[in-house]
């Protein structure tokens, strides 16, 4: 159950980052409110998960989901530049998170 919380928290982190972009420096009310809601939800879920998981691995998974998800959606939906190097770097993040889990970071 704790890993499900981390995954969902990571997805809320992606939503948080996309709302942050849409808030245009917190000048747009709806994306700004979305940012706050998603941030509190993401951190809250991560906090609950940390009751049962190693902090380093859980945090890495959370950040990895946020970073990879935000970058991928930025490229797919928001016109961010796409390059082979960016995609390779995202693959390295995924490989690092998987490696941490294989090294015994989860319970």
User: How would residue 100 be classed by pLDDT, with cut points 50, 70 and 90?
Assistant: confident
Distance separating alpha carbons of residues 82 and 12, to the nearest angstrom: 23
Mean per-residue pLDDT over the chain, rounded: 94
User: How would residue 107 be classed by pLDDT, with cut points 50, 70 and 90?
Assistant: low
pTM over 0.85: yes
pLDDT value of position 101: 82
User: How would residue 48 be classed by pLDDT, with cut points 50, 70 and 90?
Assistant: very high
Quick one: how far is CA 35 from the chain centroid?
13
2: buried, middle or exposed (CB in 10 Å: 19+, 13-18, 0-12)?
middle
> What is the arithmetic mean of pLDDT over 15-27?
97
């Amino acid at each position: 159950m704790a890993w499900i919380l981390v995954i969902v928290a990571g997805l809320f982190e992606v939503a948080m980052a996309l709302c942050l972009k849409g808030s245009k420096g917190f000048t747009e009310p709806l994306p700004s409110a979305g940012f706050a809601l998603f941030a509190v939800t993401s951190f809250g879920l991560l906090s609950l998960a940390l009751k049962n998981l190693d902090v380093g691995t859980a945090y890495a998974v959370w950040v990895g989901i946020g970073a990879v998800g935000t970058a991928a959606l930025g490229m797919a939906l928001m016109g961010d530049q796409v390059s082979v190097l960016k995609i390779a770097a995202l693959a390295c993040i995924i490989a690092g998170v998987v490696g941490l889990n294989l090294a015994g970071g989860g319970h």
